[in-house]
């Protein structure tokens, strides 16, 4: 990675850490100035991250989402934007510490792994590839957020069973709101992942012809899609409650991370980006 790109990536990582710290302090103290400061840093870092992605894409002469590490930095950006939108629209401010802890980890790993490799393969410059990767990544970002919401639901559900709930009871939104937010994350992620898979299949057929459904990355992508389809169907048909969806959001996140990170490192797959 060039000097400027490395500097920008380190700066992004550092600011994400600061945001995580500010929101964690806000969660503990409930002092509004920490939330206000966190919002300012989020705004600045989203703009800086967008500039980083554009600059990085120009340096590589392609859509900069062709490796695990490139995808991680895009995921960090998308989750940041999604969180910012949700905080403003729902007025729920106490989830930032948890969300930005994950964002910080994604960006930190990306900083250590990203390298600039200019490619000539026209596949990475097509509209189909751009739509496939970006929509899939938006879906993943919604699933990550849904996982955080799901875990918070399970924690609060357990707290309510205690004789004397701890301070976390006063910090988190009501179970009903967490349940609704989790379901919206499921639906949003599912819709965008479906679009990503459709365009991915079209792209794959153009490149490789027939592709086996048992290719590790493709197979696990379908498994992930099925998990969220079952979750949404269970909610609509069987009226599954937030607890089931909370556990399913964690399972879906685990499958996503395994698909996203480890498959490329462990198994041979046509889908190496």
Q: What is the per-residue pLDDT across 171-190, written as a single tens digit (0 to 9) for each?
A: 889 999 999 999 999 999 99
163 phi/psi in degrees, rounded to 5? -65, -40
Mean pLDDT, the chain, whole residue set: 88
- Helix segments in the chain, DSSP class H: 3-29, 32-60, 68-90, 96-113, 127-159, 168-171, 175-208, 216-238, 242-257, 263-266
Per-residue DSSP letter, 260: I
Work out the pLDDT band at 206, boundaries 50, 70, 90: confident
Q: Kindly report each contact of residues 103-106 with a partner whose C-beta sits within 8 Å and lies 24 or more positions away, as own/partner.
A: 103/16, 103/19, 103/20, 103/76, 103/79, 104/13, 104/16, 104/17, 104/19, 104/20, 106/72, 106/73, 106/75, 106/76, 106/79
Q: Span 130-153, mean pLDDT?
A: 94
Distance set, CA 164 to CA 27, 152, 155, 168 (Å) = 19, 18, 14, 11
**Per-residue pLDDT, 2:** 67
Comparison of pLDDT for 163 and 198, the residue scoring more: 198
Answer left, alpha or beta for residue 91, where phi above 0 means left and psi between -120 and 50 means alpha.
Answer: left
d(CA 261, CA 272): 11
Q: Span 205-211, mean pLDDT?
A: 73
Low-confidence winner among 156-160, 229-233, 242-246, 269-273 (lowest mean pLDDT): 269-273
Share of residues in the chain with pLDDT > 70 (%): 89
Predicted structure pTM score: 0.91
d(CA 64, CA 114): 10
**Per-residue pLDDT, 117:** 56
Share of residues in the chain with pLDDT > 90 (%): 62
**Per-residue pLDDT, 123:** 64
Q: Span 8-18, mean pLDDT?
A: 97
Work out the pLDDT band at 82, boundaries 50, 70, 90: very high
**Per-residue pLDDT, 260:** 76
Comparison of pLDDT for 219 and 266, the residue scoring more: 219
**In the predicted structure, residue 62 carries a pLDDT above the cut 80:** no
Work out the pLDDT band at 134, boundaries 50, 70, 90: very high
Q: Span 85-93, mean pLDDT?
A: 94
Q: Name the burial class of residue 174, with classes exposed (0-12), middle (13-18) and buried (19+) by CB atoms within 10 angstroms of its CB.
A: exposed
């Amino acid at each position: 990675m060039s000097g400027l790109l490395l500097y920008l990536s380190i700066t992004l990582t550092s600011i994400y850490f600061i945001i995580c710290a500010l929101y964690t302090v806000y969660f503990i103290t409930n002092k509004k100035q920490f939330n206000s400061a966190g919002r300012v840093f989020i705004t600045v870092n989203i703009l800086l991250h967008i500039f980083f992605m554009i600059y990085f894409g120009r340096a590589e002469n392609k859509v900069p989402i062709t490796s695990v590490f490139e995808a991680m930095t895009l995921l960090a950006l998308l989750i940041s934007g999604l969180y910012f939108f949700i905080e403003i629209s729902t007025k729920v401010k106490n989830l930032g510490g948890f969300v930005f802890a994950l964002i910080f980890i994604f960006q930190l790993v990306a900083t250590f792994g990203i390298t600039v490799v200019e490619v000539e393969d026209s596949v990475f410059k097509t509209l189909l590839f751009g739509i496939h990767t970006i929509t899939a990544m938006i879906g993943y970002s919604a699933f990550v957020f849904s996982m955080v919401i799901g875990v918070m639901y399970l924690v609060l559900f357990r707290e309510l069973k205690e004789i004397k709930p701890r301070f976390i009871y006063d910090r988190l939104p009501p179970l009903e709101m967490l349940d609704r937010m989790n379901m919206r994350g499921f639906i949003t992620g599912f819709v965008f992942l479906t679009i990503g898979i459709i365009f991915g299949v079209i792209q794959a057929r153009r490149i490789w012809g027939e592709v086996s459904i048992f290719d590790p990355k493709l197979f696990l992508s379908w498994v992930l899609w099925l998990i969220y389809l079952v979750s949404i169907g269970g909610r609509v048909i069987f009226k599954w409650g937030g607890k089931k969806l909370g556990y399913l959001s964690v399972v879906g996140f685990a499958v996503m991370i395994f698909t996203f990170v480890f498959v490329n490192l462990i198994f041979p797959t046509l889908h190496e980006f």
